[in-house]
Amino acid sequence: MVNKGKVTDPKVIVALDYDNQESALSFVDELNPDICRLKVGKEMFTLFGPAFVTELVNRKFDVFLDLKFHDIPNTVAKACKAAAELGVWMINVHASGGKPMMEAARDAVASSAHPQTKLIAVTVLTSMDDAQLQQVAGDVTAAEQVERLASLTVESGLDGIVCSAREAGTLRKIVPDNFLLVTPGIRPAGSDAGDQKRVMTPEEAMNAGVSYLVMGRPITQASSPIAVLQEVNKSIA
């Protein structure tokens, strides 16, 4: 386990997108909650379920359970209550599910056995550029759609949103100071963007006012993942 590089309130959320638990846990063995938070997404949750999440929570990591619920209000509310009661730090829904859905989710978390779980809403996926968004949403840019959904999320009483760091500067002028901007699509200079379209480096993102950086492949697929994580922490310290 790495004890060097302790940071106060770690900003990096490492996306554990592995197809086997052994690899994921041998990586987690090298980490500790002082240097990063962890994200479990659809792949690992589908493969390994709540037991895997509980394992990480028991190791005292702040876990973002990234299941992006999007359904009718009653269904999303029940799913959010169940997710919060795993003891996780953060969960999310899609803002495009609408205000009644987000409010139902908010109330369900508040009345759960773990009401401190943060609830955020996905605006526009960071893998989408303007052209892709226009195929599904009509004549709107990603920046405009993110702004619209961010305002709806504030009105719905959630803790924050998922957006790209590119929108953070503008959003910081219109959302409350404590509103969380959680940003995937983070790529250190020179690294492969892969399927991400709206990207920024860790330093640019922090300067733009984001709250947390979500990073998967640039860390987990590096030849020395811990070294990359420490380098990122150093660059944003």
Ligand X SMILES: O=c1ccn([C@@H]2O[C@H](COP(=O)(O)O)[C@@H](O)[C@H]2O)c(=O)[nH]1
Is position 196 annotated in a ligand binding site?
yes
Q: Which of 107, 130 has the CB closer to ligand X?
A: 130
| Cβ at position 192, least distance to ligand X in Å | 10
Q: What are 180's two structure tokens?
A: 């969380």
Is 159 assigned a catalytic role? no
What one-character-per-residue DSSP string does 34-73 give? TT-EEEE-HHHHHHHHHHHHHHHHHTT--EEEEEEE-S-H
| Cβ at position 103, least distance to ligand X in Å | 22
Q: Which one among 28, 215, 228, 229 touches ligand X, defined by CB under 6 A? A: 215
Q: Which of 5, 225 has the CB closer to ligand X?
A: 225
**Does 31 engage in binding with ligand X (CB under 6 A)?**
no
Q: Which one among 14, 15, 65, 88 touches ligand X, defined by CB under 6 A? A: 15
Q: Which one among 96, 126, 156, 233 touches ligand X, defined by CB under 6 A? A: 126
Is 66 assigned a catalytic role? yes
Which 3 state secondary structure label does DSSP give 24? Answer: helix
Catalytic residue chosen out of the listed positions 34, 68, 107, 130: 68
User: Rounded CA gap, 41 and 11, in Å?
Assistant: 18
Bridge partner residues of 91 (DSSP): 65, 119
Is 129 assigned a catalytic role? no
Closest CA to 94 of 117, 66, 60, 113: 66
Q: For residue 231, which phi and psi values (nearest 5 degrees)?
A: -65, -40
Q: Taking the CB of residue 17, how many other CB atoms lie within 10 A of it?
A: 17
User: Rounded CA gap, 190 and 194, in Å?
Assistant: 12
Catalytic residue chosen out of the listed positions 11, 66, 118, 159: 66
Contact string (CB under 6 A) for ligand X, positions 169-208, x = contact: ---------------xx--------x-x------------
Binding site for ligand X (CB under 6 A): 15, 17, 41, 122, 125-127, 162, 184-185, 194, 196, 214-218
The catalytic residue positions are 66, 68, 71
